[in-house]
Amino acid sequence: MKLVVVESPAKAKTIEKYLGPGYRVLASYGHVRDLPPKDGSVDPDSGFAMEWETYADKARQLKAITDEAKKATSLILATDPDREGEAISWHVQEVLRKRKALPADVERVTFNAITKATVTEAMKHPRALDEDLIDAYRARRALDYLVGFTLSPVLWRKLPGAKSAGRVQSVALRLIVDREREIELFRAQEYWSVQALMESDGQEFLARLIRFKGEKVDRLSIGDEGTALAAKAAVEAGRFSVASVETRPLTRNPPPPFTTSTLQQEAARKLGFSASHTMRIAQALYEDGSITYMRTDGVQMAPEAVSAARKAVATRFDAGYVPDKPRHYETKAKNAQEAHEAIRPTDFSRDRAGSGDHARLYDLVFKRALASQMASARLERTTAELVDGTGQTALRATGQVVLFPGFLALYEEGRDDEQDEEARRLPRLREGDAPAKKKVIAEQHFTQPPPRYSEASLVKKMEELGIGRPSTYAAILQTLTDRGYVVLEKNRFLPEESGRLLTAFLERFFERYVSYDFTAHLEDELDDISGGRAQWQA
């Protein structure tokens, strides 16, 4: 009998059904042991030797695995296909070795989708445990322990009420606090906009003032009401005709299928999900066999998935929506073994899965993956300039027309900012036309401070800076909220006094630990270890 170990019981049940007799599949229920939170769990003077301790609540599970392992002819470690999954497999192996219950034959098997075809195919290609990935995990765990264990006791003494400081968590908190400081230092500047509502061929459009008294007008040029009213009067008095019309063709290509971080960003924008909620739902969809593995930096899809997507596009739309050649996306991830396939449906003929939030997230994954293999959208961007008889006052109207929607017929990426005026529709304008002027509007505005981070924009910023890894973002944001360092108000992060104090304290006495460059450099070094380019104890 062969013993297969996976993380979750739901997965264990499904996989045992796929593999049939001769296999026993058990779940480890996630990690089985960790470094105990006491002094001496990592010894830097003895080559970073680590004292691991099994979780008390995993005793029953580990006993079941041990009992089965003693009877098994071989052990197949089939935990998730990433750094954490590799670590869990290694921990299970080490626990069994200690208990003298490790079968002579140990294999590691990975698959990125829980379908019968994928699982049975993966079983034909076992490998050994990836020592480089395990070393990267150990280095990360030792670092986190040493940083947390060095800083936290100091905090407890010096900052009553501070819960803890973590290697990545403290840097994410600093981003939120820095943004709040920017907002507080911000001084609003008054400016005015002058726009005319025009009409041509029964269609209304807006044109904004770009020249007044022969001088160019920028967004902040008009700084007071007097000037604004004078400009408004000049537009009201002028007779405007179209001086030039410039039309530029424009092509928009579809975004690649989701990675972990782009899924978290888009689910926050479009569905209002928190990063941790998105990951919970995605995990369930993965275990249900609906989507591929949801922790990935990869943007490419397997060749058979690309073919299936192209076929589905042709069926849903028509051949004109299928590009001549399959689209190929490049992954930015440094390490091939961590660049799995993008998140996609396991079956492109299935456009629905689950109900409630599960169905909504699946719909997002399905549409994004399908759109990634669709034709580009063809648009036409038009800029029309209208000048009065004196040539001293000019207006500009911009807009775009969709000539062929391509992928936009199915999916448009969400944005963190508001739509710009480019996206408006314009009537067909020709040089010499004199559109009717309906009314002129002068509006007062004030420059806005930078916005507070939403979950989507914070995840994006952390990814840009190279802080943390997509698989850890959800947990980091959750920790900051749970520890009371930040609160979410109207879906934006607001630092609490304790969070601000902690950041100020760390910046003053432990500057290195909250430096963006230092943290990003550590992530690069961890990537080098998992890619086999560096030694973890060095």
CA distances from 369 to 66, 115, 348, 364 (A): 41, 18, 9, 9
**What pLDDT was estimated at residue 384?**
93
pLDDT higher than threshold 70 for residue 290: yes
How large a percentage of the chain has pLDDT more than 90? 63
296 close to 340: Cβ distance less than 8 angstroms? yes
Element (H, E) at 248: strand 241-252
Residues recognised as catalytic: 293
73: which strand partners?
none
169-185 and 470-482 helices, crossing angle to 10°: 70
What confidence score (pLDDT) does residue 236 get? 93
Structure tokens belonging to residue 526: 């961890």
Where does residue 59 rank: exposed (0-12), middle (13-18), buried (19+ CB within 10 A)?
exposed
3-state secondary structure of 119: helix
Q: Output the six-digit token pair for 4.
A: 């297969």
Average pLDDT, the chain: 90
| 335-374 per-position pLDDT tens digit | 544 567 899 999 999 999 989 999 999 999 999 999 999 9
pLDDT tens track for 9-35:
888 989 999 998 999 999 999 899 999
User: What is the spatial distance between Cα 292 and Cα 290, in angstroms, rounded to a whole number?
Assistant: 7
In this predicted model, what pLDDT tens digit does every residue of 312-343 receive, in sequence order? 999 999 889 999 999 999 876 555 445 678 99
Answer for the pair 295, 80: CB distance below 8 angstroms, yes or no. yes
Residue 518 and residue 526: Cα distance in Å, rounded?
A: 12
Q: In the beta sheet, which residues pair with residue 441?
A: 195
Tell me which residue of 368, 367, 363 sits closest to 353, measured CA to CA.
Answer: 363
Give the per-residue pLDDT at 338. 54
Say what the pLDDT of residue 337 is.
47
Per residue in 61-70, pLDDT tens? 999 999 999 9
Contacts 24+ apart (CB under 8 A), 107-112: 107/74, 107/75, 107/76, 107/77, 108/76, 108/77, 108/78, 109/4, 109/76, 109/77, 109/78, 110/78, 110/80, 110/81, 110/85, 111/78, 111/81, 112/81, 112/292, 112/293, 112/296, 112/340, 112/341
Q: For residues 401 and 132, what is the distance between their CA atoms, to the nearest angstrom? A: 52
Q: Which of 334, 365, 360, 328 is nearest to 113 (CA)?
A: 365
Residue-level pLDDT at 423: 63
pLDDT of residue 335: 55
The answer, yes or no, to whether residue 417 has pLDDT greater than 80, is no
Give the burial class of 508: count Cβ atoms within 10 A of its Cβ; 0-12 exposed, 13-18 middle, 19 or more buried.
exposed
- Structural domains of the chain ordered from first start: 2-129 (3.40.50.140), 152-185+452-531 (1.10.460.10), 192-253+378-446 (2.70.20.10), 260-372 (1.10.290.10)
CB 221 within 8 A of CB 457: no
